Amino acid sequence: MPVFDFNSAPTEAAKGPECTYKTYRTSAPEASPEQPILLLSNQKRQWKHHSCGVFTNPNKRTAFEFKEEDGKFTADILLIDARFVSLLKWLGEHQIHVRLSGMNREDGYAVYKIRETAFGGGTKLSAEDGFLQFMIERLFASNAPSEEEVDEDREEVGDDMKLTSLQSITDFMTCAGRTLPDNIQLWARRNLAVARSHEVSPEEKRHAQRALSIMMNIQWKSNYFEAIDPDEARRILDEELYGMERVKQRIIETIIQINRTHTLPAYGLLLVGPAGTGKSQIAYAVARILKLPWTTLDMSSINDPEQLTGSSRVYANAKPGIIMEAFSMAGESNLVFIINELDKANDGKGNGNPADVLLTLLDNLGFTDNYMECMVPTVGVYPIATANDKSQISAPLMSRFAVIDIPDYTEEEKKVIFSRFALPKVLKRMSLREEECIVTPEALNAVIRKYEDTTGIRDLEQAAEHIAANALYQIEVNGVKKVVFDGKMIEELLG
């Protein structure tokens, strides 16, 4: 990965950027003269074992300025451990005085230790080299960064840009114009006035700027959805789920409806069934089919509606609720909202039922967060909830969903899932070949009998893990070529 030198001299600047040193990739846990942090030129002068000076700003010149008894001398950087490029740039930008420990080699001065020094009465970054040595140790403990080719023709993208400063937020509002929803435009202008005002408290200004940053970093999309290929949707469902034909049919019907109307259905999906039957997996598959970002909300951990709606800005420690944070994390207004364990929502602590907060979100009429103080459009939100017992869900919530009952797997389906999916998946992860771990039909029956009274397939997946681990142990420790499990072995292994 080349690092470029932009020399400040006018005559040099006209030549454009010049590659002045190279980086090399290593994950070595410490440096040595043979494998240094960096290599400095020593053709004109041999440097002392311990030498002091500063790194010059790598944006202007890739070099180290030595402070010697007879004056200042500069040596070009020839080579840098790729993990330390950003640190050396930071040291150069802040003119941090350091002491290098190195050794002169034929190809240059190999630096294997860097320590901070006080200079000219100045204060050090922290006592006993705390920060610099902390950073160096962290970098040595890190893996080498991936090497990326520099594509000069690659188009610049702004996906990583975050609007945080008032200036960037103001510029964005000016450029975005009417592309923002009308109510959000009005809300943003009001909050921008608060953030700039000298008549409100610093706390109010901070909250207003934080709310603006959250809202402006969300891409507010229309509720128009492109058509989805039903064949591709079916392929994804078959890839993620075995059997469940009625469930797959209901999901495909939803896809066909979206293709005709180009909008989301009026009702979300409520997947009801025993634990371990793949309800969450179905939800993730639907998000993948819709090509939307997804977020999860575990209702079993929510005991106060305020966790969902956020807290008022009158409090110093106020913050948005989980629902608003989900929009912020997704970065856009169209997303799949996966609500896990809807039937296990707590009744709260005297402040109402948290589950009832979801009603406005599910109605697609907009959601208001107490911290944001603005109605957020929810027409692009597709809710998918999971539950074990729908009798524990209130009637108003139930009326917002199309309910799909997820049946438990039959004995034959469990056999297929174990032999064709669960066990091969574990063997691949453990780098075992199928011929090294063989489960006979009698052994397969023993596995199914062991878990015939349990719902779902999680126990089968754990059994596959146990069997594969035992086979790997016998191959590695006992030196056998393969392990053939029969019914008796399975009964003894699984207990």
Phi and psi at residue 110, to the nearest 5°: -90, 115
pLDDT (mean) for 52-80: 81
| 255 shares its domain with 298 | yes
Q: Determine if the pTM surpasses 0.85.
A: no
pLDDT (mean) for 472-490: 91
| 384 shares its domain with 422 | no
| 176 shares its domain with 193 | yes
Residue 112: inside a domain: yes
- Report the share of the chain in percent with pLDDT over 70: 87
Residue 162 has pLDDT above 60, yes or no: yes
pLDDT class of 19 with cuts at 50, 70, 90:
low
| CATH, residue 436 | 1.10.8.60
Residue 345 has pLDDT above 80, yes or no: no
Contact 381, 338 (CB under 8 A): no
| 254 shares its domain with 390 | yes
Residue 479 has pLDDT above 90, yes or no: no
| 113 shares its domain with 193 | no
| 262 shares its domain with 210 | no
Residue 146: inside a domain: no
Residue 357: inside a domain: yes
pLDDT (mean) for 204-225: 90
pLDDT class of 58 with cuts at 50, 70, 90:
low
53: β partners: 66, 98
Residue with tokens 């126990």: 459
Residue 372: inside a domain: yes
Instruction: Name the residue with higher pLDDT: 154 or 217.
Output: 217
**Hey, what are 488's tokens?**
């008796």
332: β partners: 219
User: CB-based burial of residue 152 (10 Å sphere; 0-12 exposed, 13-18 middle, 19+ buried)?
Assistant: exposed
Q: How many domains does the chain have?
A: 4
Domain boundary among 405, 423, 447: 405
| 367 shares its domain with 240 | yes
The Cβ of residue 466 has, within 10 Å, a number of other Cβ atoms equal to 16
Domain boundary among 349, 370, 405: 405
Contact 141, 122 (CB under 8 A): no
Report the distance separating Cα 98 and Cα 94, nearest Å: 12
Residue 482: inside a domain: yes
pLDDT class of 231 with cuts at 50, 70, 90:
very high
pLDDT in tens, 361-413: 888 888 999 999 999 888 899 999 999 888 888 888 889 899 998 888 888 88
Range of the domain at 188: 166-216
Residue 222: inside a domain: no
Residue 279 has pLDDT above 50, yes or no: yes
Residue 330: inside a domain: yes
Mean pLDDT, rounded, of the chain: 84
Residue-wise DSSP of 12-35 = HHTT--EEEEEEE----SS--SSS
pLDDT class of 12 with cuts at 50, 70, 90:
very low
pLDDT at position 252: 93
| 276 shares its domain with 369 | yes
pLDDT (mean) for 165-175: 85
pLDDT class of 417 with cuts at 50, 70, 90:
confident
| 95 shares its domain with 184 | no
Residue 3 has pLDDT above 50, yes or no: no
pLDDT at position 346: 60
Give Dmax (Cα) for the chain.
Answer: 87
pLDDT at position 452: 84
Report the distance separating Cα 81 and Cα 110, nearest Å: 11
| 241 shares its domain with 339 | yes
Q: Spell out the residues 6+ positions from residue 33 whose beta carbon is closer than 8 angstroms to its own.
A: 102, 103, 105, 110, 112
Residue 145: inside a domain: no
pLDDT at position 243: 78
| 236 shares its domain with 332 | yes
Report the distance separating Cα 485 and Cα 444, nearest Å: 9
Domain boundary among 405, 420, 439: 405
Worst-scoring range by mean pLDDT, 153-162, 329-338, 468-477? 153-162
| 129 shares its domain with 68 | yes
